[in-house]
Structure 1
């Protein structure tokens, strides 16, 4: 089938696009390369350098007529969303609506949406939490993801476009961007390999549910053919605090380094883990890559990309 992957030159989107190509699908990528890299675009996929908010999206949809939209393009920095909610909504809500409006006119049948399994719930009451947990996001980023899911429900009700919101836990793995605020695994790994000291925010006891990017690729492939419409959590259900993650990465990098703590980030979520039982029932999906193995694969990727000498 023909699949349009937005953000297909980025961290998660490029892995997903690569898998779609490998499975024989006709893959078209839209990415403005603001954070994605052209070298991540898989051979066999067609790249259009374009912002999802652009008026040219309509022309692209008319020309390509994808059956599936796999939407990974996003403003993904939670702290930026707090500082600039208008920018966040412009990319994450208006960008999606631009794609859906163009898609509904030109044969779009299904949307796979990269949602969030952390920010959408806010401070959790249950650990790990299922999809039925109250959604009370405390950042504009989380609000935008929740609003996007509601819009997808509308487009299904009004136009029959099927949808699955893949609520990712904290994703890590090869190609993750080590710059900026996102991606603690990548940030710590790059610093450790350079012999630099990573700084842990606050006491380091804040927890996250870390899921390997390769496991999420499998979920996207499985979601292509499901009749289910709605959200699906994709995580491990396992909480790992930042201090533990730091020591696991030190071991993977072959470095012996003490913890160094800095000020806590205001408003940072204290605990997060999600229950993926529904994804197992609906898709037959469950995570396969243990954290220690995934970190080793990630470290090896960054090690190979380091300049010689």
Structure 2
């Protein structure tokens, strides 16, 4: 089965491509390389350099490769960028998704697996946050990811392009950039590599739902096979404070210095954990990695841990 992965040279995308190959799929990648890297991809993978904002290029890629499904990961993912450049955020996350859906409609693609975000929920009214929670995003990023979900629903109803929407919790793992949504683990790694103390904003008791990238890749593949028209959270369902996270981090990297605490940042959500039972049931998927196991696997794969020291 041919599967096109937009943003496939990036963090989540490259792990998804590896999982597709291991499962016997025939993947190809579309990426503009603004964040992704060719070296993230396995040798010999079919690669198209292009931007989802370019409807003509996107259409030519879909026409040439003829995928049966698309895993749509190409996005503007930084909340701060969305606040400073909401027009760019809209062009990529909304306009790019519309361009993709038009190409899928025109060339007969059966299904789109769409990477959404916990940011669509905004400040949680209750925990854990399930898919029925009110959608009140607090940033243009959250708004654009939510808006694209509506376009997917419309294209299924009008044109028969099927979809699954996956709302990711805080993803971490090898190849993650130190900037962008959910990048606190990558920020810790980057600071320690530079010999600097990581900064924890507030008292460190704010909680997040950290999910390992290999589990997210597995969820993307599960959504190819099941869950038509489904909107589901992809998470561990477990809350971990940022201070607890750094304690686990230091347990694996004893040379890491104590964190430095700074005043809380305005607008930061205090607690966030997603209910993942719908994905467990409808996709026959669940997270395989605990946070300690995920962190350990991450360091082994990053090859940045040498005798207990970051290199």
TM-score by length of structure 1 reads 0.94
Per-residue deviation at 1:137? 0.6
Q: Residue in 2 aligned with 1:125?
A: 125
Q: CA RMSD in A?
A: 1.9
Per-residue deviation at 1:182? 5.1
Q: Distance in 1 between matches of 2:155 and 2:214?
A: 29
Name stretches of at least 5 consecutive residues in structure 2 with no aligned partner.
none
Evaluate the alpha carbon distance shift between residue 256 and residue 97 of structure 1 in structure 2; reply closer, same or farther with a 3 A threshold: closer
Q: Distance in 1 between matches of 2:172 and 2:145?
A: 19
The answer to which of 13-22 and 190-199 deviates more is 190-199
- Any conservation in 2 of the 1:166–1:232 contact (CA below 8 Å)? yes
Q: How does 1:18-97 map to 2 (within 5 A)?
A: 18-54=18-54, 55-97=56-98
Q: Residue in 1 aligned with 2:101?
A: 100
Q: Residue in 1 aligned with 2:272?
A: 272
Q: Distance in 2 between matches of 1:287 and 1:182?
A: 17
* 1:10 and 2:21 aligned: no
Q: Distance in 2 between matches of 1:31 and 1:189?
A: 25
Matched position secondary structure for 1:28:
strand
* 1:225 and 2:225 aligned: yes
Q: Distance in 1 between matches of 2:21 and 2:301?
A: 22
Per-residue deviation at 1:300? 2.9
- Any conservation in 1 of the 2:78–2:179 contact (CA below 8 Å)? no
Per-residue deviation at 1:303? 4.0
- Any conservation in 2 of the 1:41–1:47 contact (CA below 8 Å)? no
The answer to which of 85-94 and 50-59 deviates more is 50-59
Which contiguous aligned blocks of 4+ residues in structure 1 show a shift greater than 4 angstroms?
Answer: 179-182
Per-residue deviation at 1:175? 1.2
- Any conservation in 1 of the 2:8–2:17 contact (CA below 8 Å)? yes
Evaluate the alpha carbon distance shift between residue 155 and residue 256 of structure 1 in structure 2; reply closer, same or farther with a 3 A threshold: closer
- Any conservation in 2 of the 1:212–1:289 contact (CA below 8 Å)? yes
- Any conservation in 2 of the 1:193–1:303 contact (CA below 8 Å)? no
Per-residue deviation at 1:255? 2.8
Q: How does 1:238-277 map to 2 (within 5 A)?
A: 238-255=238-255, 257-277=257-277
Q: Residue in 2 aligned with 1:288?
A: 288
The answer to which of 143-152 and 190-199 deviates more is 190-199
Q: How does 1:149-228 map to 2 (within 5 A)?
A: 149-179=149-179, 183-228=183-228
Matched position secondary structure for 1:137:
coil
TM-score by length of structure 2 reads 0.94
Matched position secondary structure for 1:48:
strand
Per-residue deviation at 1:227? 4.5
Matched position secondary structure for 1:258:
coil
